[in-house]
Amino acid sequence: MKKTPSPRTGASTNRKAGAKPPRDAQRLEVAGRPAPRGARAADPEHVTARRLDDTLDELRRGVKDPNLGLFGPGSMMWEIGRESICFLGGGRAALLQLAHPYVAHGVDQHSKTRTDPFGRFQRTFSNVFDMIYGDLDSAIASARRVHRIHERIRGPIRETVGRFDEGAPYRANEVPALMWVHATLWDSAVQAYELVVRKLSNDEKDRYYEETKRFALLFGIPRDALPPDWASFLAYNRRMWESDEVVVGDAAREIASFLFTPPEKILTPVTAFAKVLTAGLLPPRIRAGFGLKFGTSEKRVFQATIRALRATHRTWPYRVRYLPAYLDARRRIQGRTGRDRINELLNRIYTGRARVAA
């Protein structure tokens, strides 16, 4: 009989570690297109250190002012990403990522999410903020650091889920997995931004998406693996939501259950509220896979929250509305070298570091 997994104890007891990968071909999708028939899930294109060097060299050649970094003032990446409200989509992005078995089992087997969830959040965004708001050297250094971490994340998928048989191998530095994580970030950020801040024009979305390709290069994702424009990018996401490559399995549900379980009883209303917001933002099939409720009462809470955020976010103090890493980046570009103790405190909350993009 299959045992029910505990949300705080890791992999379910029916999974079998170390099983040999299946011989059946299992196709993965890259650049919005299924891989050729006969391609195996165990053999997608792997991002080696040498290949990462090639993409980082390509990035360097395209940067005119290293102090501005990869994006800088006037970029859509800063226009959208500076808004703290984009973290409204954080739960959505996390659960979409977990719905890919490569990600779910990588987190299940290698991550400190269960033992140090806030620390993992801080370490993740310490690198992400360096990539987006730091100077060129900071962005490149973070890219190399993340690649080294990802190289250690590999193992067997310990359940049969979607197109993947139990025992199928995964590696974090494979293009399809990297592409999926990349896609969830920008799709979720635009969704949150448009819900609360303002609607973006098609031209702005195309500009934004074109800029995100530079971020993809930081992970070694080749340009030809990326959908060519925003419309194709959206089509890729929608296909993935309905595909057998993105399917919520036991590992994903266990981790999501852990994330929405309050560490202290007093925080129960906070995690319940976060669960409602995440449910409202997720595609229906993925929401159902995680067992998240979104009935009449949840919809009322979600809609009332969005209305309140729309009405008030422009009145928030700038230190609340904008990310501290963005404010640090502005100070760096303006040549301001003095300390900003309030921003240092906020940076420590987001990343565990006093200064991020300074």
Report pLDDT digits (tens) over 240-287.
999 999 999 999 999 999 999 998 999 999 999 999 999 999 999 999
Confidence of residue 132 (pLDDT cuts 50, 70, 90): very high
- For residue 33, the SS3 value is strand
Q: How far is CA 198 from the centre of its chain?
A: 22
Strand partners, 120: none
CA-based nearest residue to 328, from 307, 344, 310: 344
116: phi then psi, degrees, rounded to nearest 5: -150, 65
Residue 323 has pLDDT above 70, yes or no: yes
Q: Token pair of 192, please?
A: 């949150």
The reported pLDDT for the residue numbered 56 is 96
- What are the residues whose beta carbons fall under 8 Å from the beta carbon of 160, sequence distance 6 or more? 166
The reported pLDDT for the residue numbered 213 is 97
Residue 25 has pLDDT above 80, yes or no: no
CA-based nearest residue to 332, from 63, 73, 56: 73
- What are the residues whose beta carbons fall under 8 Å from the beta carbon of 274, sequence distance 6 or more? 91, 260
The reported pLDDT for the residue numbered 15 is 41
The reported pLDDT for the residue numbered 29 is 55
Residue 2 has pLDDT above 60, yes or no: no
The reported pLDDT for the residue numbered 111 is 87
As a whole number, mean pLDDT of residues 179-184 equals 97
Residue 6 has pLDDT above 80, yes or no: no
CB 86 within 8 A of CB 132: no
CB 38 within 8 A of CB 285: no
Residue 136 has pLDDT above 60, yes or no: yes
As a whole number, mean pLDDT of residues 280-301 equals 98
The reported pLDDT for the residue numbered 3 is 40
**Regarding beta strands 33-34 and 154-156, do their DSSP bridges make them parallel or antiparallel, or are they unpaired?**
unpaired
| % of the chain surpassing 90 pLDDT | 81
The reported pLDDT for the residue numbered 1 is 43
Task: Measure Cα distances from 32 to 6, 52, 245 in Å.
Answer: 35, 22, 12
As a whole number, mean pLDDT of residues 57-63 equals 94
Q: How far is CA 344 from the centre of its chain?
A: 24
Report pLDDT digits (tens) over 207-226.
999 999 999 999 999 999 99
pLDDT averaged over every residue in the chain: 88
Which is more confidently placed, 358 or 259?
259
Four-CA torsion 75, 81, 85, 91, nearest 10 degrees: 150
Report pLDDT digits (tens) over 341-350.
999 999 999 9
Ranges 77-91, 103-117, 265-279, 295-309: which has the least confidence: 103-117
As a whole number, mean pLDDT of residues 136-142 equals 96
Confidence of residue 231 (pLDDT cuts 50, 70, 90): very high
How far from each other are the two terminal CA atoms of the chain, in whole angstroms? 56
The reported pLDDT for the residue numbered 113 is 80
Task: Measure Cα distances from 161 to 3, 14, 26, 247, 257 in Å.
Answer: 17, 13, 12, 7, 18
Residue 4 has pLDDT above 50, yes or no: no
Confidence of residue 44 (pLDDT cuts 50, 70, 90): low
Residue 35 has pLDDT above 60, yes or no: no
Burial readout 137-159 (b: 16 or more C-beta within 10 A, e: otherwise)? ebbbebbeebbeebbebbbbbbb
Residue 229 has pLDDT above 50, yes or no: yes
The reported pLDDT for the residue numbered 41 is 44
Residue 43 has pLDDT above 50, yes or no: no
| % of the chain surpassing 70 pLDDT | 87
